[in-house]
Structure 1
Amino acid sequence: MKFGFHISIAGGLSNVVPRAQKLMCATMQLFTRSPRSWLLNRLDQQDVRDFKKALRKSNITPVFVHTPYLLNLASSNARLYKKSVNALVTDLQRSNNLGARYVIMHCGSAENAARGIRIMARGINSALNRAQNAVVLLLENTAGGGYELGAEFDQLADIIMRIEQKKRIGVVLDTAHLFAAGYDLRTRKGTDHVLHEFDSLIGLKKLQLVHLNDSKATCGSHLDRHWHIGKGTIGKGLAYVINHPSLQHLPFIMETPRMSDKDDLKNLRAAKRLRQLKASKGN
């Protein structure tokens, strides 16, 4: 099992691998640009070469690129939809250039869920066709606040069913989002039920990554509130996720609150402690 973190690209891509190594990452996630802006920075090619060289020398794999939060491929607003598709194409192409095998994207939002899912699938098909490479797009489940899509497994399944390039679509499950959406992970029975439902509707083979986050929100609240591992409302229940037999081959990336590297290292130690717990104990 591999643990890692979302790593800042501040100061350039050449700083990413050293930062990840300092945090003892075996896998990692990054943005290629500002997550809250449409502004597209030009990647310095020497910086890219330095990043790839450092990555080759490390044991950090796989690498995940996260798209900006602004994307909404489910939008019925033509301008926002076009910008979102173009931004996804850019990240698919950048990921290929960086040697990252996966791009992660939130599902977006729509007042009419059925229509939003159709629009989103059309946008994904367009983006995958335009980005002519083997990078896999991973849809991230959401907390389900407001008109967010992708909080429920049947919606994710509906989107995936409509994607033409089946080998280039997958899922990342965020534990904080799952819990907020009403999927209870606090017991072994609950975790088994969640993963059985996922397998029945989507298939565990489509699951490529776990975002390991505790939560400050209550189960079913639809509030996206990440918290420190083992310190939130899921608490030691995360041990059932970490130790679940169906997930042992997957990378786990944490997106927990941080003020400094010390916070990340504390969360890494907490995750490893939960890894040592006997998942067979409890309910």
Structure 2
Amino acid sequence: MLKVGAHVSIAGGVDNAVENQVEIEGNCGQIFTHSPQVWDHGTIEDEEAEAFREGTAERLAGPWVIHASYLVNLCTPKDDLRAKSIDSMQQEVDAAAALGVEYVNVHLGAHTGAGVEGGIENAASALDELDVPDGVTVLVESDAGSGTKLGGQFEHLASVLEQSEQDLDVCLDTAHTFAAGYDLSTPEAVAETMREFDDVVGFEHLECVHLNDSKHASGTNKDEHAHVGEGLIGEDGMRAFVNHDAIVDRGVPLVLETPTEDGKSFAWNVERVRELREDVDA
């Protein structure tokens, strides 16, 4: 089964995410449990959590992913920010357990002067502070790699997985990967980039994909998403990616974070992904 969906709103209650996903004809997806711009997580009521779990079981294939707050910085050398980041992540993995969500996705953050090795060590040790409930896995997301942000190189992801005592996996964002300098714009480029990912990180750790096209060229480190097939990755690259054996054979969920513009929203992109998969199946 092709698992494709989008990052949808929980406005009015986390259980509303199920209906929001169904409306765009997605069958898996991603949510924030609270505003990603603040530390306050608020409270998810038991009734909301039960409705979310039941709605998901009845109407969606899954899985869901919780995206951690944008404020979280696992790589930071600053004690206060590190403590807040760990606390926020603990609340996210606990929320995931309450909601029956399998994954919590997080960016490594920026080392802000600690250096690449120091930042990776900080991230791994911060993740080791978490008490991750059974059935929940933390995913480290690939990054566009601007400034001192880590995660733009596959080696960064592999190093965190190796150094951490947690059972971590990876979420690969196609727009970020492309912006970081890994070409995905042709079938040949997709094959080469995926070979490198497997060599460095390993397909066994690829548990989710943020499927986004890019408004900027490969290697620019600029993170701005485009509709599937209409950015600089383009239709050929996106078709090759969604039909790559590592995605198809392992049933990796494809979660859209595409824009709402030009009269196109998540529903258009979900349908486009299905068309690109059918192009090969036909």
TM-score (norm 1): 0.93
One-letter code aligned to 2:86: V
Distance 1:4 1:260 in 2: 20
* Partner SS for 1:183: coil
Residue 113 of structure 2 is aligned to residue 114 of structure 1: no
Q: Which residue of 2 aligns with 1:274?
A: 276
Secondary structure at the counterpart of residue 277 of structure 1: helix
**What amino acid maps onto 2:224 in structure 1?**
R
SS of 1:8 mapped into structure 2 = coil
- Partner of 2:49: helix, strand, or coil? helix
Report the Cα offset of residue 260 of structure 1.
11
> 1:100-139 counterparts in 2 under 5 A?
100-110=101-111, 111=113, 112-127=115-130, 130-139=131-140
Q: Is the 8 A contact 1:25 1:60 kept in 2?
A: no
Give the corresponding residue for 1:246.
Answer: 246
Shift of 1:277: 3.0
AA paired with 1:118?
A: E
**Higher mean Cα deviation, 67-76 or 269-278?**
269-278
Residue identity matched to 2:239: A
Q: Give the total of aligned pairs.
A: 275
Q: What is the Cα-based RMSD across aligned positions, in Å?
A: 1.6
Q: Secondary structure at the match of 2:60?
A: coil
What whole-Å deviation, never above 9, does each CA across 1:133-192 have from its counterpart, x for those lacking one?
331000000000111101001111111001213xx3100100000110000001111111
What is the CA-CA distance between 1:262 and the residue it aligns to? 5.3
What letter is aligned with 1:159? Answer: V
Q: Which residue identity is paired with 1:70?
A: L
Gaps of 5+ in 2: none
- Aligned counterparts of 1:92 and 1:46: Cα–Cα separation in 2: 19
Q: Give the Å deviation of 1:261.
A: 9.6
Deviates more, 1:253-262 or 1:214-223: 253-262
Instruction: Report the equivalent of 1:206.
Output: 205
Cα distance in 2 for residues equivalent to 1:245 and 1:55: 27
User: How far apart are the structure 2 equivalents of 1:172 and 1:115?
Assistant: 22
- Code of the residue aligned with 1:240 in structure 2: it is A
Match of 2:183 in 1: 184
Q: How far, CA to CA, are the matches of 2:255 and 2:93 in structure 1?
A: 20
Query: Aligned-pair distance for 1:131?
Result: 3.2
Of residues 212-221 and 37-46 in structure 1, the stretch that sits farther from structure 2 once superposed is 37-46
CA drift of 1:14 comes to 2.2
- Give 2:64's aligned residue: 63
In 2, distance between residues paired with 1:37 and 1:158?
29
- Structure 1 residues 98 and 159: CA distance shift in structure 2, 3 A: same
| 1:276 CA drift (Å) | 2.7
- 1:119 positional shift: 0.7
Match of residue 150 from structure 1: 151
Query: Does structure 1 residue 193 correspond to structure 2 residue 192?
Result: yes
The gaps in structure 1 that reach 5 residues or longer are none
Checking the alignment, whether the CA contact within 8 Å between 2:97 and 2:133 is kept in structure 1 is no
CA positional deviation for 1:52: 1.5
User: Could you tell me how far apart the structure 2 residues matched to 1:41 and 1:265 are?
Assistant: 29
- After superposition, give the CA deviation of every residue in 1:51-72 in whole Å (9 maximum; x if it has no partner): 1221221133111111011100
Contact 2:143 2:149 in 1 (8 A): yes
User: 1:209–1:251: 8 Å Cα contact kept in structure 2?
Assistant: yes
Secondary structure in 1 matching 2:4: strand
Matches within 5 A, 1:220-239: 220-236=219-235, 237-239=237-239
Distance 1:195 1:135 in 2: 26
What TM-score do you get using the length of structure 2 for normalisation? 0.94
Task: State the partner residue of 1:215.
Answer: 214
1:255 alignment partner, one of 254, 257, 261: 257
Give the aligned residue type for 1:148: K
Alignment of 1:159-178 (within 5 A): 159-165=160-166, 168-178=167-177
Q: Distance in 2 between matches of 1:3 and 1:53?
A: 20
